[in-house]
Copies of this chain bind each other. A is one copy, B any other.
């Protein structure tokens, strides 16, 4: 697994929307400013997240983005797998890989498999509600606005 800027932006945007879950929509402009993300890039990311069912949007004057589900129902793993690179650490599970003559005998693959599983166990167990809780703890019971 490798978290790119795009994935990082996606996670932060969702966290911000989670913090404002139940409120009015947050505009792209607003999110971009708060999260320090190039606005046109964030547009693309949010559109993708919408297709993935993570967020909803409202157009027009009081439009913006909303979290599509309660924060407790979205895990880091779901977002990472959807928007970022594969969780697997190596190409040998992907198409067209030709580094192995006999994949069944590859002893490395077993190790990468274990790494994948360990990674998934972690990212699939963390929800955005958990992250909000962590923020409160770090910030004396407040939901910090600086992400």
Contacts and interface: CB of A to CB of B under 8 A. Distances in A.
A9 B108 CA distance: 11
Interface residues of A, number: 47
B8 A99 contact: yes
A139 B105 contact: yes
A89 to B, nearest CB: 5
Interface of A: 1-5, 8-9, 11-12, 15, 36-37, 76, 85, 89-92, 98-102, 104-108, 110-112, 114-115, 118-119, 121-123, 126, 131, 134-135, 138-139, 144, 146-147
State the majority secondary structure of interface residues on A.
Answer: helix
Contacts of A121: 118
A122 B3 CA distance: 20
Given A1-B1, A36-B99, A101-B146, 7 more contacts: A2-B2, A2-B89, A3-B89, A101-B147, A115-B122, A115-B123, A118-B118
Contacts of A11: 108
Contacts of A102: 146-147
A67 to B, nearest CB: 16
A146 to B, nearest CB: 5
